[in-house]
Chain A
Amino acid sequence: MAKAVGIDLGTTNSVIASLEGGEPTVIPNTEGSRTTPSVVAFTENGERLVGQLARRQAILNPKGTIYSAKRFIGRMYDEVQEEIKAVTFDVVPGSDDSARFNVRGKPYAPEEISALVLRKLADDAAKQLGEKVTEAVITVPAYFNDAQRTATRDAGRIAGLEVLRIINEPTAAALAYGLDKREHETVLVFDLGGGTFDVSILDVGDGVVEVRSTAGDTHLGGDDFDRKLVDHLADEFQRETGIDLRNDPQALQRLFEAAERAKVELSSVTQTQVNLPFITASADGPKHLTKSIMRSTFEQITASLVERTMGPVKQAMSDGKMSEQDIDEVILVGGSTRIPAVQQLVRRLTGGKDPNMSVNPDEVVALGAAVQAGVLKGEVQDMLLLDVTPLSLGVETRGGVMTKIVERNTTIPVRRTQVFSTAEDNQPAVDIVVLQGERERAADNRVLGRFQLRDIRPAPRGEPQIEVTFDIDANGIVDIRARDKDTGVEQGITISESSNLDRSEVEQMVTEAERNRSSDQELRETVDARNELDSIAYQVRRRLEELGDAAPEHERARADMLVGEAEEAVKNEAPTDRVRSLTEDLRDVYNALLARQPGTGGATASDSGAGGASDDVIDAEFDRT
């Protein structure tokens, strides 16, 4: 079956996505990028280039390289006078006074250019997916009028795509966050892209999304932030050296790349370094540009740009007759919304609300369009909604720690089994304490239930194999069974309230675990080390018993001494370094003892090495009950 895709046909870049196993996923193009420049070029020798290739030759071919076609699509020649001034190619009136691009004497409609971009996206996606792409949902800005929407639909048709629907970009963003499934809500979508800025206020609920109002600035975006930073760096360099880097195309290109990288870095760190060695040369020799930029400096030089987003936000709110208290959710779209100052402003304008930004803001629109395509094709409806375990489940093991059997966020129904053993010789029973939570110490987690598995046949510690199985059904009901593999004796309980925690409780437990992670980790290591020492000491003792008189006196004496120290260390909870070094020593002793043959002179002496009783992995041991 052919795939239905979602396409974000952008002014500067476009993105294509499809539903993969119920999840919307961006499909990279043949060059390996997740975004494709919305640029088309017609070269002198009649070649047609689309995307990154077209952009690379733009300077060589300023009249034959068409970009920003979205600014012209479905518009009259008279309406686009301002836009014409900003582009290098020729725009002429068509037969019906619509805007046309004139390339080497041949007129092209903006929808033809967009069609070439769509065609490349669909072809590359088909190559990646291994199946034809014939149907698409395409997004447009909320403010697009009928003519612009029709022209976009035509672009899809020219590209050989059946356009299932044209949807608004903010609507797609809301779909990507699944907000349409909520009850009645008001959503503000703040979209600061590479070259345009849009704000929309949406009414969502019961599967319907409606645009209440929209506002924006058609010439404001991330590129402006780059330019501010380039100017800042170039001005400073000029002040220091008298050389204007903006007159040197190569230096300028390096400067733009460095500025963009610095901008991106300053979203996650508060200071970054711009390092451009040999940026230019003067009579005194080569010159280097080395400059550290503070986030505060960046915020200062771009403050005017951030300020410019305020007007449209206020406009959209007043047009939609909304105050900041009426906004339930805020969604950030466009790469520039990663800038902390932008996020702060959005928070301030929406009454301190934390904006949604968990979905990649460069891809959220295409992802939402893919969701819409899936809904229209009935793919989403067939999806069974499966639950996940909100917290990890496991059992308490030796040393009072929790051994996880089912990790949190595991999709259910699921069955997981682990094998445990006894911690003492001839241990007759084990206590199974069922725990829920993320902490390492058993006592810090919730006890869901406990039971005992009895009648374990007398055996040295570590030998019995107790298989513990957690089976969680689709409703979150947990069935826990413990089975002695030797006798087949089984015990178990069923717990139905494992999932009746509300979200805040779960979140609290997860953050608590996060906060205590390093101390928990330490505790876990200490307990593991102690258990390891205890186990090797036990093995050495058993080996000594097996060997009897065959063990040389000096080795026996040293082994006895170390085992004594080990028992002392385990009992007194000695520091981890001491525990580890004792473990090392005992391991050496054990290896030496393994090389000795028991005095009985039996032929098959080596088959009873401790721990070698079975190939099954023992994960942990249960304390004596």
Chain B
Amino acid sequence: MRHEEQPPAEQQPPAEQPADDQVVRDLEDRLLRALADAENLRKRHARELRQQAAAERDRIAAKWLPVLDNLDRALTHAGAGPDALVTGVLAVRDEAVDVMARLGYPRHEEVGVPFDPKRHEVVSVVDDPRFPPGTIVQVLRPGYGDPDHLLRPAAVTVDQRQE
């Protein structure tokens, strides 16, 4: 019985019209809600990104605390004489270099390698016959990281024949 009743009901325009209006309204409402949802998601994402950045900053900063502690210790023993202080500071430096390496930024201070703008930044140019042209003669400040993830290029002096 029900099966027979339905087709004629759908064909009657007066009955169909309000149903369509309802469908359009529903769809419109769902579209707006989907868009608003996306927008609210975007806001949440932005907020979470900020929280993530703060958490990451905490994590990195914590890795540096032992270095800072050891610097403090070195300074308390500064009276023990320059040699002891230098040994201590050297140890702290190595520790700091290690922290950087563990964060993914190994230290680079190689001399005698060819200049490569992907990892070096020229600070000055000299004519040094001991090296072939375009070679790193001196590293003025070490670089950190690898070319695909460079934190800072090494500041270098490069050899160049003066004409």
- Write the residues of chain A forming the contact surface with B, with a CB cutoff of 8 angstroms: 21, 31, 41, 44, 49, 53-54, 56-60, 249-250, 253-254, 384, 386, 409-415, 473-474
Q: How far is the CA of A31 from the CA of B37 in the complex (A)?
A: 33
B27 at interface, CB cutoff 8 A: no
B125 at interface, CB cutoff 8 A: yes
Stretch at the interface among B12-20, B66-74, B152-160: B152-160
**Other A-B pairs, 14, CB within 8 Å; known A386-B32, A386-B35:** A21-B38, A41-B117, A53-B118, A57-B115, A57-B120, A57-B122, A58-B122, A250-B155, A411-B40, A411-B43, A413-B29, A413-B32, A415-B33, A474-B32
Measured CB to CB, the nearest residue on chain A to B30 is A413
B49 at interface, CB cutoff 8 A: no
Q: How far is the CA of A386 from the CA of B43 in the complex (A)?
A: 14
Q: List 17 A-B pairs, Cβ < 8 Å.
A: A41-B117, A53-B117, A53-B118, A56-B117, A57-B115, A60-B160, A250-B140, A253-B123, A254-B141, A386-B39, A409-B43, A411-B35, A411-B40, A414-B33, A473-B29, A474-B29, A474-B32
- Which of B32, B40, B122 makes the CB contact (< 8 A) with A59? B122
> Which residues of B from 1 to 54 have beta carbons under 8 Å from A?
29, 32-33, 35-40, 42-43
Residues of B in contact, count (CB < 8 Å): 28
B99 at interface, CB cutoff 8 A: no
| Cβ A60 vs Cβ B36 within 8 A | no
Closest 4 CB pairs of A and B: A411-B39, A56-B121, A53-B117, A249-B124
B134 at interface, CB cutoff 8 A: yes
The minimal Cβ–Cβ distance linking A61 to chain B, given in whole angstroms, is: 8
| Cβ A31 vs Cβ B36 within 8 A | no
Measured CB to CB, the nearest residue on chain A to B28 is A474
| Cβ B36 vs Cβ A411 within 8 A | yes
List residues of chain B with CB within 8 A of the CB of A41.
117
Say whether chain A's binding surface is mostly helix, strand, loop, or mixed. Answer: loop
B85 at interface, CB cutoff 8 A: no
Also in contact, A250 and B38, with CB within 8 A (given A31-B150, A56-B153, A413-B33): no
| Cβ A60 vs Cβ B122 within 8 A | yes
| Cβ A57 vs Cβ B124 within 8 A | no
| Cβ A249 vs Cβ B39 within 8 A | no
Mask, B83-116, CB within 8 Å of A = 1, is 0000000000000000000000000000000010
Q: How far is the CA of A473 from the CA of B35 in the complex (A)?
A: 12
The minimal Cβ–Cβ distance linking B8 to chain A, given in whole angstroms, is: 36
| Cβ B124 vs Cβ A59 within 8 A | yes
Q: How far is the CA of A474 from the CA of B28 in the complex (A)?
A: 10
| Cβ B155 vs Cβ A59 within 8 A | no
Q: How far is the CA of A474 from the CA of B31 in the complex (A)?
A: 11
Q: How far is the CA of A365 from the CA of B139 in the complex (A)?
A: 39
The minimal Cβ–Cβ distance linking B41 to chain A, given in whole angstroms, is: 9
| Cβ B117 vs Cβ A413 within 8 A | no
| Cβ B40 vs Cβ A250 within 8 A | no
| Cβ B36 vs Cβ A386 within 8 A | yes
List residues of chain B with CB within 8 A of the CB of A53.
117-118
| Cβ A410 vs Cβ B40 within 8 A | yes
List residues of chain B with CB within 8 A of the CB of A56.
117, 120-122, 153
| Cβ A49 vs Cβ B117 within 8 A | yes
List residues of chain A with CB within 8 A of the CB of B158.
60
Measured CB to CB, the nearest residue on chain A to B134 is A44
List residues of chain A with CB within 8 A of the CB of B33.
413-415
Q: Which of A59, A384, A409 has the most CB of B within 10 A?
A: A59
